């Protein structure tokens, strides 16, 4: 089982959405292999589903912008 923070997993999910992967692939490649409890797994699956829905509406995730914002000085 792979260990990763939920922040890192959300970033991987965003990258998978940008790459055009469907929910099944995101689940199998990003969420499934991780050591997560049922609640965390469900939360990440819902996050992925929501990101895919937003991308379908023309609003893909902005992974680089999110990373820059989180490291910008306050």
Average pLDDT, the chain: 86
Outline where the chain has alpha helix (H): 6-18, 23-26, 38-56, 63-71
Give the integer Cα–Cα distance in Å for 44 and 41. Answer: 5
Give the integer Cα–Cα distance in Å for 26 and 20. Answer: 10
Q: What is residue 29's DSSP assignment?
A: I
The pLDDT, as a whole number, for residue 74 is 43
Nearest to 23, CA basis, from 1, 31, 58: 31
pLDDT in tens, 35-54: 999 999 999 999 999 999 99
């Amino acid at each position: 089982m792979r260990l990763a923070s939920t922040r890192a997993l959300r970033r991987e999910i965003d990258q998978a959405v940008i790459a055009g992967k469907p929910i099944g692939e995101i689940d199998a490649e990003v969420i499934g292999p991780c050591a997560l409890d049922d609640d965390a797994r469900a939360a990440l699956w819902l996050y992925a589903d929501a990101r895919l829905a937003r991308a379908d509406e023309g609003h893909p995730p902005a992974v680089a912008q999110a990373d820059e914002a989180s490291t910008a000085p306050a």
